[in-house]
Amino acid sequence: MSLFGRAPPSKTLADGDKLDVAGAAVRLKVNRRARRVSLRLDRTRREIVATAPSLRRLPEAAEFARSRAAWIAESLAELPPIAALAPGMLIEVFGRPVRLEAGPGRARWIEPVDGSTPRICAMGEGEGYARAVILILKKKALEVLSARTAHYARVLGAPMPKVSVADAKSRWGSCKPGAGGAAGVIRYSWRLALAPFEVADYVAAHECAHLLELNHGPRFWAHVHALVGDERRHRDWLRAEGARLHAFGH
């Protein structure tokens, strides 16, 4: 019998359903490897996840979430504030200060010849302005991460993979090695452009190491260490600051 009792018969819950608990979004998830009902904060998606070991126990997970409304509110309140992109802001792109400006015409990256602060100039207001800026950030991310991927693939003696960027929520990069002579595929989160260059560079080295080792075993980490040295500080930075990067542009 459920610790929290049975849900009303008319309420059928499914994996992926969302609940409103005191104004906060709670996503229900079935994880058959879990041993108990639990709650956790997904800092990237800015939501609470209530996990149950089986579909049958989802009502128990829902009731557990409702019983922890105060904890849910406190956890969400600790998240970095949403950072809307607007003219006049100074952001960092691969560790370089970049000024956001409003201006006519297509969105563009402006690199001053005198070495002063680069600018992103875009038109529009609110979400339209943010989308235009993000388009430029995606292009810059693709440019820089493609170059670093080419460098590390060459060092490792691996064929150059196809590179793309997306707005992934659960990982900073992913690698699918090629088969039968075909090029592999590496995808990065464009939000790495908002991280220091050394951190984004580590992710490129990490994904390129997967071209040789599709695992996280000792040989994989030996490749990573040979490319960038001690990677732990970069992984720690992403764990500590990842939620802040995902708060940009909303």
Residue 133 neighbours by CB distance under 10 Å: 25
Given the candidates 3.10.620.30, 3.30.2010.10, 3.40.50.300, 3.40.640.10, the CATH classification of the domain at 90-246 is 3.30.2010.10
pLDDT number for residue 9:
41
Question: Where are the domains positioned within the chain?
Answer: 18-77, 90-246
What is the rounded distance in angstroms from the CA atom of residue 89 to the CA atom of residue 132? 14
Amino acid occupying residue 238: L
Residue 109 CA neighbour count, 13 Å, CB half: 14
Least confident segment among 19-28, 138-147, 183-192, 210-219: 19-28
Q: Which amino acid type is present at position 185?
A: V
Average pLDDT estimate for 147-168 = 96
| CA dist list (Å): 78 to 66, 71, 151, 219 | 19, 11, 39, 38
Per-residue pLDDT tens digits for 170-190:
899 999 988 777 789 999 999
**pLDDT in the model for residue 236:** 96
Token look-up 């995606």 returns 138
